[in-house]
Chains A and B, each alone.
Chain A
C-alpha cells in the first residue's frame, strides 16, 4: 500500500471505481498507481492457481498489474493513465470474453 508524500504539486482529482467502489486519485497517475494509493492490496488472481497478485515492477515488464478497464480484460495498469469515470475491476484468472466484439 502506498500514500502520497507530504508536499505534492497541486493536481485535479479523478473519480473512478474499483470493483464498484468509488475512489479518487490524482490526475496524471497510472491505473496501477491509483490502486496502490487507494490501499488496494491485490489487483488480480492468476489464471494458473487463482492466487492474488499486485503490481510488481510498474514499468511494463512483469504483467502482474493486469486489471479489467472499462470491460477490457488483462490490461497493464501501469501503462494506462487514469481517466475520469474509469471502471476498473479485479482480473479474476483467465481473460473473459464477451460477445460485445461481434
Chain B
C-alpha cells in the first residue's frame, strides 16, 4: 500500500476507485490489487478501519478486553490491505461522481484533500461508504450532551475517551448492548440502559429463529446482552423518550408501561440501529428500493454488488446492513466483479474464486433477519409523535411543520417538502432528516415509505469550496453554456 499525503501525488486515473476504508473497502481494494488492478482507495478519516474497526491501527486503548476480540480482527483486514499494491488517500473526500464524457463507461470523480480538489478518472468504482446510525428524533435530541451511541464508541476507539459524568444509553439494537458493555468495561458511569425494543417484535421475529440458532450472532449477542443486563440498570419496554435541559442536557424522561421516569444525566447516547448510507449511491444515480425488513432505503444490486449504474458497485453495509464480517466478504465479491468487468478475470475464474467467499458470506448473514425483525424500531421513534420535535437538525424543521405540509398543503414526497420547508437543504444534506421526513409523510398521508420516495441528491456529496470548484478544468462547452 502506498499512502499519499497530497492530492498532486495521485495519478490521472485508476482501474478502480474504492470509496471508504472500512472492512468492505479495504477488502475490495486488497483483493482487486491482488488481481492486478490499479487501485485508489480514498477515505475521509485519518486512519483505515471505517467505523467498526475505527482506528484499529492507531487506537490508544491498550487493554484489549475493553473493545473485545471482534474489534481487533480488523487489524488483519488492514494488514492485508497494507501489503497490497493499492494507493491509499486518507483524509480525502470524494464529493462527486459522473460519467467521463471522453471515455464511455468510465467515471470522473471529484476528490479533495487539504483544500485542493482534483478530478480523477476510474474505469470502475466500488462505493464502500458503509452505514450511518438511523436518525433518532426525540424532543431535545439537539441538546449538547446528547450524542449517538456510535459517537461514544468512536471516541473510545480513536481517542480512548469516555463520557465523564452520569450516562444514559437509550434505544435498541445489538450495538446498544455492545456499547454498554464496552463503556462499562472502560469505567464509564452508566446510570441506565433504556431499551426501546418493542415487545411485539419478539413474536414477529420468531419465524426467523431457526436460522438465528445456527448463526454467529447467537453466542455473541447473548453474551453482550447478558453482560449488559447483569452489570447495568436495565429498563426494558421504554415507549417514550425526552431529553431536557437549558443549553445542555440535564435529564432524560422516559415512559415504561404508562409510568414516567426521570434520570438526571450528563450524557445521553441514542441508538436505534444502522441504515445504509445512501447519499453517494443516490447522487450517483443508482436505483434504491425500500427494504421493509431493514426498514431502510437500500441500493439495488446484483450478485456482484453491481448497482443499476454499470461500473458502480456497492459493497458492505452500504448495500444493506450485514455487519463488519459480511462487509469484508462483500468487498471481496465486488472486487471479483470489477476485475471481471475489466477483463482481468474471466467469468469462470471469477465464479470459481468467489464460491468459497459466497459460502462464508451466507454463513455470516445467517440470522441477520432475526435481528432485523427483533430490533425494528418502534413507530413512534421513526415518526416522532410530538409536533415540537426537531426533525431536520440543520434547518431546524419540526415534525409538526412536516405533518402540516403533508396534510394541508398536499405535499406527497420529500423533494417537495424540501422545497417548502428547507428540510434536507443544510450541510448534512438530508442524512439526519431524510428517513424521518419520509416516515412522517407516509404516516400522515396513509402511504408507505416505498411510495413516498426519497430525496433526489446531487453532488457535492461532501462539502467542497467554490475556490476548489473554480480551479478545476473547464471545457469549451461549459464556457459556452455559461457565458452567453
Residue positions of A touching B, CB distance < 8 A: 1-9, 11, 26, 28-30, 33, 36-37, 39, 41-42, 46, 48-49, 51-64, 66, 74, 76, 78-79, 81, 101
Contact = CB atoms under 8 A, between A and B. Distances in A.
A61 B44 CA distance: 11
A3 B162 contact: yes
B364 interface: no
Interface in B108-163: 132-133, 142, 144-148, 150-151, 154-156, 158-163
A25 B98 CA distance: 41
Nearest to A39: B164
A79 B147 contact: no
Contact of B431 (A4, A62, A78): A62
B160 A5 contact: yes
B432 interface: yes
Interface string B165-177: 1000000000000
A9 B462 CA distance: 33
Given A3-B161, A8-B160, A58-B151, A63 B58 contact: no
A37 B395 CA distance: 28
Contacts of B187: 5-6
Contact of B60 (A2, A26, A48, A81): A26
B428 interface: yes
A62 B164 contact: no
B475 interface: no
Q: Is the interface of B mostly helix, strand, loop or mixed?
A: loop
Contact of A30 (B51, B142, B158, B248): B158
Nearest to B146: A56
A101 B467 CA distance: 9
Contacts of A52: 144, 247-248
Contact of B161 (A37, A61, A64, A101): A37
A13 to B, nearest CB: 12
Interface string B252-272: 000000000000001100000
Nearest to A9: B60
Contact of B159 (A6, A30, A39, A101): A30
B150 A57 contact: yes
B452 interface: no
A41 B247 CA distance: 9
B10 interface: no
Contact of A37 (B145, B159, B165): B159
Given A42-B248, A61-B428, A55 B161 contact: no
B347 to A, nearest CB: 37
A66 B427 contact: yes
Interface in B230-282: 247-248, 266-267, 277
Given A37-B159, A54-B144, A61 B277 contact: yes
B272 to A, nearest CB: 14
Given A4-B159, A56-B148, 5 more contacts: A2-B159, A3-B161, A7-B63, A42-B247, A59-B151
A4 B427 CA distance: 30
B61 A41 contact: no
Contacts of A29: 158-159
A74 B427 contact: yes
Interface in B61-112: 61-63, 66, 91
Contacts of B427: 63, 66, 74
A51 B148 CA distance: 19
B219 to A, nearest CB: 27
A91 B161 CA distance: 24
